């Protein structure tokens, strides 16, 4: 079935460093790739998304890149801050009668001061 | 935050008992979803709805049923709770299908089956 793999499962960086989280997907028809951030005990919230007709998208310190040929996409966070510490989920749209999102297993990012 | 409320926020129940979780939205969004979140599995879709009385199964629907009699309410029922259904349950809503628009999540319901 449809699958989204996410790596790494945990990532520790020093404040000010960059962080990169990578995802691969299996459905070549996927065309929407959102990223969600979930702080401890809170709900997941969308931080950035990208559609298949775009290769890269930036929003301040956050960027997402998409390689449709290789079926992988990545989240890049520059100049990390302690408040970036959270669990990040990637997702890909799949269509099996109805278009839905399949989520990766999550990456726990810890930014140390 | 989008107007989406889940109730209850926490529940402990015994194996074999029925349990109903409620999701209420004030955004008038057409699409509603129930996910469960478990360590190592991310968010997995249980059921979804694309309109009043229109529902369908997700990837982990066994042991769950849903109902949507009004646009604003989407109920998830565990017919006979099992320990494997201990999880955090999230409701989500979207204006259109999730291929194009943001899905907004509720605060979650932590369910423990003992």
Q: What is the pLDDT of residues B23-71, one digit of tens each?
A: 999 999 999 999 999 988 889 999 999 899 999 998 899 999 999 999 9
Least Cα separation, residue B80 to chain A (angstroms):
27
Mean pLDDT, residues B68-92 taken together = 97
Q: Model confidence at A98, in pLDDT bands (50, 70, 90)?
A: low
Phi-psi label, residue B9: left if phi above 0, alpha if psi -120 to 50, beta otherwise:
alpha
Q: Determine the Cα–Cα distance for residues A7 and B16; give it in Å rounded to an integer.
A: 37
Minimal Cα distance from A1: which residue of B? B59
On whether the CB atoms of residues B91 and B66 are closer than 8 A, the answer is no
Q: A34 contacts in B (CB within 8 Å)?
A: 102-103
- Interface membership of A27 toward B (CB under 8 Å): no
pLDDT score of B97 more than 80: no
Q: A101 contacts in B (CB within 8 Å)?
A: 45, 98, 103
pLDDT score of A100 more than 90: no
3-class SS at A103? strand
């Amino acid at each position: 079935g449809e699958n989204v793999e996410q790596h790494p499962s945990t990532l520790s960086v020093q404040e000010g460093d960059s962080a990169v989280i990578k995802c691969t997907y299996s459905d070549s028809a996927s065309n929407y790739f959102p990223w969600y951030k979930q702080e401890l005990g809170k709900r997941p919230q969308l931080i950035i998304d990208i559609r298949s007709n775009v290769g890269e998208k930036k929003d301040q310190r956050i960027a997402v890149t998409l390689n449709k040929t290789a079926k992988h996409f990545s989240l890049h966070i520059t100049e990390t801050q302690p408040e970036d510490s959270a669990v990040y989920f990637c997702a890909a749209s799949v269509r099996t009668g109805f278009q839905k999102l399949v989520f990766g297993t999550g990456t726990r990012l810890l930014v140390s001061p | 935050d989008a107007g989406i409320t889940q109730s209850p926020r926490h529940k402990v129940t015994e194996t074999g008992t029925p349990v109903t979780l409620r999701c209420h939205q004030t955004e008038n969004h057409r699409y509603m979803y129930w996910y469960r979140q478990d360590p190592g599995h991310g968010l997995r879709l249980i059921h979804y709805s694309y309109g009043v009385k229109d529902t369908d199964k997700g990837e982990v629907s066994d042991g769950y049923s849903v109902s949507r009699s009004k646009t604003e309410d989407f109920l998830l029922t565990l017919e006979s709770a099992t320990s494997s259904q201990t999880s955090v349950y999230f409701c989500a809503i979207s204006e259109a299908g999730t291929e194009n628009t943001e899905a907004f999540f509720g605060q979650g319901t932590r369910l423990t089956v003992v």
